[in-house]
Amino acid sequence: MSNAATPVADATSNWVDTHAPLWARPYLRLARSDRPIGWWLLLLPCWWSAALAAGIAGDLRSLPSVLVLFLIGAIVMRGAGCTWNDITDRKLDASVERTRSRPIPAGQVTVTQAALFLLAQALTGLLVLLQFNLFAIITGISSLLVVAIYPFMKRITYWPQSVLGLAFSWGALMGFAVILERIDVAALALYIGSISWVIAYDTIYAHQDTEDDVLIGIKSTALLFGERTKMALTIFYSLAVFFIGIALWQGGSRWLAWSGLAAFAVHLGWQVRTIEIGNSPLCLRLFKSNRNAGLLLFGGLLADAVLRAV
């Protein structure tokens, strides 16, 4: 077994490496606890949906607890998804410089230990889900098939980012399921908009690995778009803004929500203007900046929900 103190190559000098107990470090790395950007990006569509649904309902009484439960669920289920991804990709990860120091290919944990950790995270996520109504529980469980197949998509299609979008955007449906106990046109439009957002930002992320991906036969939209990436990002980010706008219109949102969407759109435009696909550190920075973009939109939706409830 490799030394648990050995950090992952692309996530050094973080709290896991410096403060977590040695025995816990491989498991925290499996869950990507050293990289919170993933759970932020999973959480934000949940928060968008909850704020928009609360605005439609004109009732904020359940919103604080729903936001907290979504936060816990996003952290736990993002960790479960990453653990599943590392189990299925262990041989591929061993072939890539950036990922060969991950816990399984590095020998810090066995596949069996990782599977037991995955089960523990999934059960925790289920406990969170059981706090909601039956419709929301069924809606949440329905996402598991998409989550399960995602790691295999990069072996067979240049569009694995679209499957990631289906999984990471599921929260855009959950807020409506929890607060309104329905999925309507506004929820579906928000879901489509979020999928477009995910495809674009994960294309930016994938540009860090294009050379290794070509060598080991992994497919991605980064390879598919290549030098046309700026045009593709413009298209998908525009679709994101358009469909989220449809959601706001269908939900009867007012100026505060539209202001949040405008700030979100400006941020996405800045990303497109700034990106250099051959600059990996810049791609990573732009990818991570989507947390801020999503928070701008959430801030507008939350403020609008508060205004509509008074």
pLDDT of 49 higher than 60: yes
The 8 Å CB, 24+ separation contacts for 264-270 are 264/293, 264/294, 264/296, 264/297, 264/300, 265/237, 265/241, 267/292, 267/293, 267/296, 268/197, 268/200, 268/237, 268/240, 268/241, 268/293, 269/237
pLDDT at position 284: 96
pLDDT in tens, 244-271: 999 999 999 999 999 999 999 999 999 9
Q: Which CATH superfamily is domain 15-309 in?
A: UbiA prenyltransferase (1.10.357.140)
What does the pLDDT average to over 141-163?
A: 94
pLDDT of 134 higher than 50: yes
What does the pLDDT average to over 129-146?
A: 97
Place of tokens 């294309």: 203
pLDDT at position 81: 95
pLDDT at position 92: 80
Name the band, by pLDDT with cuts 50, 70 and 90, for residue 5: low
pLDDT at position 16: 87
Share of the chain above pLDDT 90, in %: 83
